[in-house]
Amino acid sequence: MRLSRWLAVSVLVSVAFAGRAQGTAHGTGATFPYPLYARWAHDYRARTGLSFNYQSLGSGAGLLQIRRGVVDFGGSEIPLGREELEREGLVQFPMVAGAVVVVANLPGDSGAPLRVSPAVLADLFLGRIARWDDDRLKALNPGRPLPALPVGPIVRADGSGTTWLFTRYLSAKSPDWAKGPGAGAAVKWPRGAAAKGNEGVASYVKEIPGAVGYVEYAYAAGRGFTWLSLEREPGEFVEPGPASVGRALERGLALPGHPLEVDLLDVQAPGAWPLTGLTYILVKADQRDRKKGRALLDFFHWCLVEGAPQARELGYFPLPPEMVSGVEARWTEKIRCRGERLWP
């Protein structure tokens, strides 16, 4: 008797704490944009009371689960082709641009960016450069003391759009890489320990001296890592940061008639950060629930139009207005609920 009464009370108390529990839309996908999506969802909920639950499981998970219809929206850096989108009944659009950076844990280091060439970068992850005081690194960074620590590559254990961006770059720049692991959301890594999500990689790099890993910019900022600057053209080293990513974005989006899924990898412009990419949202073209579908689009609209300050604060790059109109035009064209247009 006493037990059941206690149970009833605790349930009532929990409900009292719950407040207004509104319906929630669920999405899974890339860890790349997770800090931003979480922040947008948090701020939007404060404004409207509507909840959007985004679980960062990796681009692979996002794609798989939106294909299966197990979630309401998916997030990924890997754009699907038109035939595949039609076949799966999905609509895809970019949300925000971000950058992949390579960071290392070098204890006692000055923290200034460490220069590497694309070939050296590939060799670090191929395991061909065993220690940080290797001659090739010394040659690229004359006069800089480098620790005699072993190089510990940290890679992704799960299917990842971040990996896809990174390995595409390596495949383009290093024939050995293209022949070996190749490019993809998950590849066969020759060396290193693997972690789950961008969070995991950042976590491992933070814990292990001598570790080097690739993460989305937002996961690296302010953590005390040593950043690696890439050689874009012989002799020209680009440091990751808002300026270089901004230049890549500017140049990449300036191309006339580009699709919404513009490829921002290795943009040919001075001072442009090579590892830039867009991150996409996927939703079902045919929305079953009108209310939920509309709520989703309202949320994304708010993110695109009013979410720019949060994006910049967290180290992402909001889409310019022309792209936003392009995105919303696509919604109008492609998203339906029982035959009826859902947007505007």
Partner 1 sequence: MMPGGLRYLRRKAVNALLLTLSAASALFGLVFLVWILREVILRGARALNWAFFTELPAPPGVAAGGMANALVGTLLLTFLAIAIGVPTGILAGTYLAEYGRRNPLARAVRFVSDILASSPSIVVGVFVYAILVKPLGSFSGLSGSVALAILMIPVVTRTSEEMLRLVPDTLREAALALGAPHWKVIVAVCYRRVLGGLATGVLLAVARVSGETAPLLFTALNNPYWNWNPLRPTGTLNVTLFNYAMSPYDDWRAKAWGAALLITLMVLATTLVARLVVSRTEIGRS
Partner 2 sequence: MDGEDPLPRRTAVALNAPPAGSPSGPSRRKDPVEALFRGATRSFAVLVLLLLGAILVTLFVDALPAFRAFGPSFFLSQEWDPVRDLYGALPAAYGTVVSSLIALLLAGPLGIGVAVFLSEMAPPWLSRPVGVAVEMLAAVPSIIYGMWGLFVLAPVLNRSLYAFLEERLGFLPLFAGPSLGIGMLTGGIILAIMILPFVASVSRDVFRLVPPLLKESAYGLGATRWEVISQVMIPYGRTGLVGAIFLGLGRALGETMAATFVIGNSHTLSASLLSPSNTIASTLANEFSEATSALHLSSLVALAFLLFLITTAILSLAKFLLWRMEKALGGPSR
Please report whether residue 35 would count as binding partner 1 according to CB under 8 A: yes
Q: Does residue 8 belong to the site contacting partner 1 (CB under 8 A)?
A: no
Among residues 210, 307, 315, 318, which is the contact residue for partner 2, using CB under 8 A?
A: 210
190 part of the interface to partner 2, by CB under 8 A? yes
Does 264 help bind partner 2 (rule: CB under 8 A)?
Answer: no
- What are the E-state strand segments in 274-326? 276-284, 317-318
Q: Does 282 bind partner 2 (CB under 8 A)?
A: no
Q: Is 172 in the site for partner 2 (CB under 8 A)?
A: no
User: What residue 92 binds from partner 1, partner 2, none (CB within 5 to 8 A, per partner kind)?
Assistant: none
- Tokens of residue 254, six digits: 């300036």
- Which of 97, 304, 314, 335 touches partner 1 by CB under 8 A? 314
- Residue with tokens 């995991």, as numbered in its chain: 200
If the CB atoms of residues 22 and 110 are measured against partner 1, the closer one turns out to be 22
226-233/90-104 β-pairing: antiparallel
Read off the amino acid at residue 292.
K
Q: Is residue 51 at the binding interface for partner 1, with CB under 8 A as the rule?
A: yes
According to DSSP, residue 238 is labeled E
Rounded CA separation 58/163 (Å): 10
* Contact status: 53 vs partner 1 (CB under 8 A): yes
Q: Which of 58, 159, 181, 197 binds partner 1 (CB under 8 A)?
A: 197
Q: Which residues pair with 99 in a beta bridge?
A: 276
Q: Which of 55, 76, 244, 287 binds partner 1 (CB under 8 A)?
A: 55
SS3 content of the chain, % helix, strand, coil (to 5): 45, 25, 35
Which candidate, 288, 285, 283, places its Cα nearest to that of 338? Answer: 288
- The answer for 241, left when phi > 0, alpha when psi is -120 to 50, beta otherwise, is left
Among 73, 104, 111, 35, CA closest to 289: 73
Q: How far is the CB of 344 from partner 2 (least distance, A)?
A: 34
Q: Which of these ranges, 74-82, 126-134, 197-205, 332-340, lies near partner 1 under the rule CB under 8 A?
A: 197-205
Residue span binding partner 2 (CB under 8 A) among the ranges 18-26, 117-125, 191-199, 320-328: 191-199
Cis peptide before 344 (omega within 30 of 0): yes
Residues belonging to the chain? 344
Binding to partner 1, residues 212-251 (CB under 8 A): 219, 223
Q: Which residue has the tokens 């609209």?
A: 301
CB 149 within 8 A of CB 106: yes
Residue 41 within binding range of partner 1, rule CB under 8 A: yes
Query: Whose Cβ is closer to partner 2: residue 200's or residue 277's?
Result: 200
Q: Which residues bind partner 2 (CB under 8 A)?
A: 28, 57-65, 130, 150-152, 157-159, 181-196, 204, 207-208, 210-211
